[in-house]
């Protein structure tokens, strides 16, 4: 796989805010995020469909695709931040011009529903994207976490080795693994099943979700591990937060069983999450599991 790391973000660059998923449900939060970026020394451009609404989505798919292509092809835009998650990204993936994405690489960041786009950009374009904070829920919140923002901009603006450790000493089956980073929101990733979305090289699977009971997490992980290429290339698992899971012990057992069956290490708990306090993870970068550490080459 020919991986493409986009240019680092720098002061004075232009950030494009795009809406590929849910509709704008908090205009004050959008204004707050715009002010935040400008105060940081960046210019801001909004996608034309930011204020559009079609049912629970940010307007019509045709318009969203046009705006996505426009953001990538516009040489004046240096980075693309997603407005929010929700639902809608999976409706776009068969309409995207992946050659255009590959020829115009730039920072693209989001999580949750945006996992669908990050996975497909990696598979079809080789673009390294970023699983990290978004405009409404993070930069637009008066309860936003400074640690989250500092980490995000450190990742986007510098070439460095990232060494993340769990916020508590959770599950650790032991072992060492290397591969590119792949994963994200579990439910969104599973929605891609039936498509060609699995990287064709060794990967470390980082994963999180919210409001999912243990049996559904078991079901979704089983669905993924039933895919031959997933089993072939997965070399380790990094657990984020599974918020509001009904049974923590069952969750632990599920991933211990997967680790044993696939003979791979599993470590947790990391701030890969829907919570305010989160880390930014390059999506498609070379990484390793070493002890309790999740080490990512962000160069």
Catalytic residues: 112, 208, 274
Instruction: Classify residue 41 as exposed, middle or buried by CB count within 10 Å of its CB (0-12, 13-18, 19+).
Output: exposed
**Both structure tokens of 175:** 């072992």
Query: From CA 255, how far away is CA 218, in angstroms rounded?
Result: 9
Give per-residue burial for 54-71: e unless 16+ CB within 10 Å, then b.
eeebbbeeebbbebbbeb
Region label for 194, one of left (φ > 0), alpha (ψ between -120 and 50) or beta (otherwise): left
Query: From CA 67, how far away is CA 59, in angstroms rounded?
Result: 11
Query: From CA 264, how far away is CA 266, in angstroms rounded?
Result: 7
106: nearest Cα among 82, 133, 73:
73
Query: From CA 24, how far away is CA 62, in angstroms rounded?
Result: 18
């Amino acid at each position: 796989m020919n991986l493409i790391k986009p240019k680092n973000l720098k002061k004075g660059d232009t950030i494009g805010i795009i809406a590929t998923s849910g509709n704008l449900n908090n205009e004050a939060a959008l204004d707050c995020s715009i002010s935040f970026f400008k105060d940081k020394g960046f210019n801001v451009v909004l996608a034309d469909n930011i204020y559009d609404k079609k049912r629970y989505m940010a307007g019509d798919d045709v318009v969203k695709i046009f705006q996505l292509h426009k953001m990538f092809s516009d040489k004046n835009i240096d980075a693309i931040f997603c407005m929010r998650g929700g639902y809608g990204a999976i409706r776009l993936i068969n309409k995207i011009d992946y050659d255009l994405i590959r020829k115009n690489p730039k920072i693209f960041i989001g999580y949750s529903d945006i996992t669908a786009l990050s996975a497909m950009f990696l598979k079809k374009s080789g673009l390294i994207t970023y699983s990290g904070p978004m405009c409404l829920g993070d930069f637009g919140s008066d309860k936003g976490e400074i640690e989250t923002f500092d980490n995000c901009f450190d990742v986007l603006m510098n070439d460095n080795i990232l060494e993340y450790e769990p916020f508590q000493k959770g599950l650790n089956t032991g072992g060492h693994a290397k591969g590119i980073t792949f994963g994200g929101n579990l439910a969104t990733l599973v929605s891609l099943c039936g498509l060609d979305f699995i990287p064709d090289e060794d990967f470390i699977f980082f994963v999180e979700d919210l409001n999912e009971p243990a049996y559904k997490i078991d079901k979704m992980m089983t669905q993924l591990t039933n895919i031959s290429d997933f089993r072939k290339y997965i070399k380790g698992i990094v657990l984020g937060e599974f918020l509001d899971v009904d049974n923590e012990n069952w969750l632990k057992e599920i991933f211990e069983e997967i680790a044993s069956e696939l003979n791979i290490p599993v470590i947790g708990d990391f701030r890969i999450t829907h919570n305010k306090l989160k880390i930014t993870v390059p999506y498609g970068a070379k990484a390793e599991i070493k002890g309790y550490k999740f080490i990512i080459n962000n160069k």
